[in-house]
Amino acid sequence: MPLPRTEPRTVPADPATPKARIYAMLDTDGDGVASRHDYFVRIERAQRATGRGDDDPLVIAARATGERAWAAMDANGDGVMTYEEYVAWVDAEKFDTVCRYALGALFDLADADQDGALDRSQFTTLRQALGNRPDHADAAFDALDRDGDGRVGRQEYLASIRAYVTGDDSPMGDALY
């Protein structure tokens, strides 16, 4: 596997855009590029936060979908995805065919009873593992739990992330990032 190249930090033109905010979260070590390590450390954090073992089928599924997602994002195989590469890559079609599955697998890790919904604690655990601050995760949960039942469903969760990535209105995305 090629080693990540070392290059100067690439600063997004507008760091307040949804894509720039998501990219900053993907760059877990803050070195200016999202590397393979950055991407997979998020899966490891979610696994640890949910107390699942390496042989758990949901962990295996999250890793497998993560491998597919990373292969699509790192098309040139150099082990890093610059901000420019990310912006050129991510769109609604990529979300629907790649990201939805990787993010859904992470959701499933946090869904302790596998009922297709997360309570506030599960949601916050997942979002913190993915790099969000607890207060942001709390606000995002409130934005998604429109009926006030204390649960966020998988489909509404994924739809809100898709809306944020593609530039549509997403109260959850605005709260998280």
Which tens digits make up the pLDDT trace of 20-73? 888 988 999 999 899 999 999 999 999 999 999 999 999 999 999 999 999 999
Instruction: State residue 121's pLDDT score.
Output: 95
pTM strictly above 0.75: yes
pLDDT at 125: 95
pLDDT at 13: 53
| pLDDT of the residue at 8 | 39
Q: What are the chain's domains?
A: 18-176 (1.10.238.10)
Query: pLDDT digit string (tens) for 68-123?
Result: 999 999 989 999 999 999 988 999 999 999 999 999 999 999 999 999 999 999 99
DSSP per-residue letters across the chain: -PPPPP-PPPPPSSTTSHHHHHHHHH-TT-SSSEEHHHHHHHHHHHHHHHT--TT-HHHHHHHHHHHHHHHHH-TT-SSEE-HHHHHHH-SHHHIIIIIHHHHHHHHHHH-TT-SSEEEHHHHHHHHHHTT--HHHHHHHHHHH-TT-SSEEEHHHHHHHHHHHHHTS--HHHHHH-
